[in-house]
Homo-oligomer: A and B are copies of this chain.
Amino acid sequence: MSQPIRVTVWNEFRHEQTSEKVRSVYPDGIHRAIGEGIEGDFAIGYATLDEPEHGLTEEKLASTDVLIWWGHKAHKEVSDEIVDRVHKRVLDGMGLIVLHSGHFSKIFKMLMGTTCNLKWREADEKERLWVVSPGHPIAEGIGEYIELDREEMYGEHFDIPQPDELVFVSWFEGGEVFRSGCTFHRGQGKIFYFRPGHETYPTYFNPQVRRVIRNAVEWAAPTGRPKPVYGNYKPLETIKAKQHS
């Protein structure tokens, strides 16, 4: 692919405006930290909840190869119309990377067909993400594990369909495990869910977390193919019953 992959980083962008603590970690917003973390190879744009159409116009989505999604407190404020629009684009081939609390976003739940529920706890505890799929391109450049000193805990059962590929499994200090890096295919689109990234921790400045997101963008980029043909279809071979009727 000679053209750079076009990435749109979507952020709810509310915590950063209402919480001093979050703003101190992400002064320019979580989306900017994510975008800076993958700079270099991609054409990166941004969109946030409070823009018109949440920044996700038809034009914007049509020119997005991979959409990254971070949301938390305002999932319900995302309009159903825009969710349907994003859903359609994913099925048509746009990649989607859902981060952390985006597990409860309308778009992720719609694509999964399940509640996407889980256990959680904010306790400044250690997370260690182990690579369980050692040849997967999303794990390129990552060692045995990624260790994060302090993160929110997410614990099993995580109510998702069985992932097509399980790339990371997290260990938490408090005693839980979590399927932290999961791939899914829906329609022509590729989806990667990646767990870490609570708003009060500098997770998106971590070089290994950034590497995973960069890898995931490359993995999720659309495959160039004509859209599948659906509906009524003429036979490609002679049908005997028809010959005699």
Residues of A within 8 A of B (CB): 91, 93, 110-115, 117-121, 123-126, 128, 130-137, 139-144, 150, 153, 155-159, 161-162, 164-166, 169-177, 179, 184-190, 222-226, 228-237, 239-242, 245
Which of A115, A140, A169 has the most chain B CB atoms inside 10 A of its CB?
A169
In the complex, how many angstroms separate the beta carbon of A94 from the nearest chain B beta carbon? Answer: 10
Complex contact B174–A177 (CB within 8 A):
no
Complex contact A139–B176 (CB within 8 A):
no
How many monomers of this chain does the complex have?
4
Complex contact B176–A130 (CB within 8 A):
yes
3 nearest A-B pairs in the assembled complex, by CB-CB distance: A174-B235, A175-B236, A124-B241
CA distance A126 to B235 in the complex (A): 12
In the complex, how many angstroms separate the beta carbon of A70 from the nearest chain B beta carbon? Answer: 20
CA distance A156 to B224 in the complex (A): 18
Residues in B whose Cβ lies below 8 Å from that of A114? 91, 186-187
CA distance A123 to B156 in the complex (A): 25
Complex contact A144–B187 (CB within 8 A):
no
Given known contacts A124-B245, A175-B128, A237-B173, is B166 in contact with A184 (CB within 8 Å)? no
Complex contact B156–A186 (CB within 8 A):
no
Which listed residue (B128, B184, B186, B229) contacts A144, Cβ 8 A?
Answer: B229
Which listed residue (B110, B126, B131) contacts A157, Cβ 8 A?
Answer: B131
Residues in B whose Cβ lies below 8 Å from that of A186? 113-114, 161
Which listed residue (B123, B225, B231) contacts A142, Cβ 8 A?
Answer: B225
Complex contact B110–A223 (CB within 8 A):
no
Residues in B whose Cβ lies below 8 Å from that of A115? 91, 187, 230
CA distance A139 to B114 in the complex (A): 20
Complex contact A128–B236 (CB within 8 A):
yes
